[in-house]
Amino acid sequence: SLARKPVKPLQAVLPALRNAGAPVIWLNWGNRPDKLNLSPSALHVYNCDGQSVGLGDALPGAPCDASQNHMLQAGSWGAAVVDDLVKAPADISIDKYRMSGFHDTCFDSVLRNLDIQTILFAGVNVDQCVLATLMDANFSGYDCVLLEDCTATTSPAFCWDATLYNVRQCFGFTTLSTGFLT
C-alpha cells in the first residue's frame, strides 16, 4: 500500500540519525479512550455518516484483543507504529490529538529543551498531519526539512504534489533520504 512506502527508507534513516546522536521523536495520534480531548467537529470529520469507523472506534479485523484495537487511541494497536519500524529505548514518544503535533502537546517544549532548531519530517499522511505539523514548526521558527521518500499519503496524487510544492515554496525544504544520508 502507499502508506507503507516510507518504511524501507526509514529503516535506513532512523539508525543513521541515532548513530549521529540526533533525537528521534515519534509524534503519533494517541487519543483518550473516553474521547474527551476530541471536539465534535474532529469526531465528525472521521465518521461523517455515523456508520464508518471514526476516532476511538473499534477497528474491524484488527489482529489483537478487542480492547486494544481502537482507531488512533493512546496505547492501542490502532495508534501503534508499524511493526517494521522499531522504536529504540532512547527515542521519544509524544501523543497528539490534532492534525498538528504542536497544539495541545508537549512537542514544542521537548524540541526547545533539546535545543533543536532543525526538524526532519517523515510519516503518513504527508498532506494532512505531517504538513500541519511542519507548517506549525515553520510558524514557530524551526527550520523544516521534509524527507520526501520517508513520507506518503493515501490521498490522491495531486495532494502529494501540492504538499511538496507548498513546502518548497513557503515552509522549508525537501530532500530524499539518500541525499541526506550521504
Neighbours of 180 (CB within 10 A): 17
Q: Which amino acid is at 3?
A: A
pLDDT number for residue 127:
96
> Cβ distance 146 to 174 under 8 Å?
yes
Percent of the chain with pLDDT over 90: 64
Query: Looking at the 3D structure of the chain, how many domains does it have?
Result: 1
Q: Share the mean pLDDT of the chain.
A: 89
Does a cis peptide bond (omega within 30 degrees of 0) precede residue 125?
yes
Domain span at residue 9 reads: 2-181
Alpha helix (H) residue ranges in 62-176: 107-113, 131-139, 157-166
* pLDDT tens figures, 1-39: 788 999 999 999 999 999 999 999 999 988 778 888 888
Q: Please report, for the domain that includes residue 31, its CATH number.
A: 3.40.50.850
Residue 74 main-chain phi, psi, to 5 deg: -50, 130
pLDDT number for residue 65:
64
Residue 70 main-chain phi, psi, to 5 deg: -90, 140
d(CA 81, CA 30): 11
d(CA 117, CA 4): 28
Q: Which residue has the higher pLDDT, 182 or 97?
A: 97
Please check the confidence at residue 77 and state whether its pLDDT lies above 70. no
The residue count for the chain: 182
Q: Which amino acid is at 128?
A: Q
Residue whose C-alpha cell reads 500500500 in the numeric block: 1
* pLDDT tens figures, 125-157: 999 999 999 999 999 999 999 999 999 999 999
Of 20-29, 70-79, 117-126, where does mean pLDDT reach its minimum?
70-79
Q: Given 3-state DSSP classes, what are the helix, strand and coil percentages for the chain, each rounded to the nearest 5?
A: 40, 20, 45
**How does DSSP classify residue 102?**
S
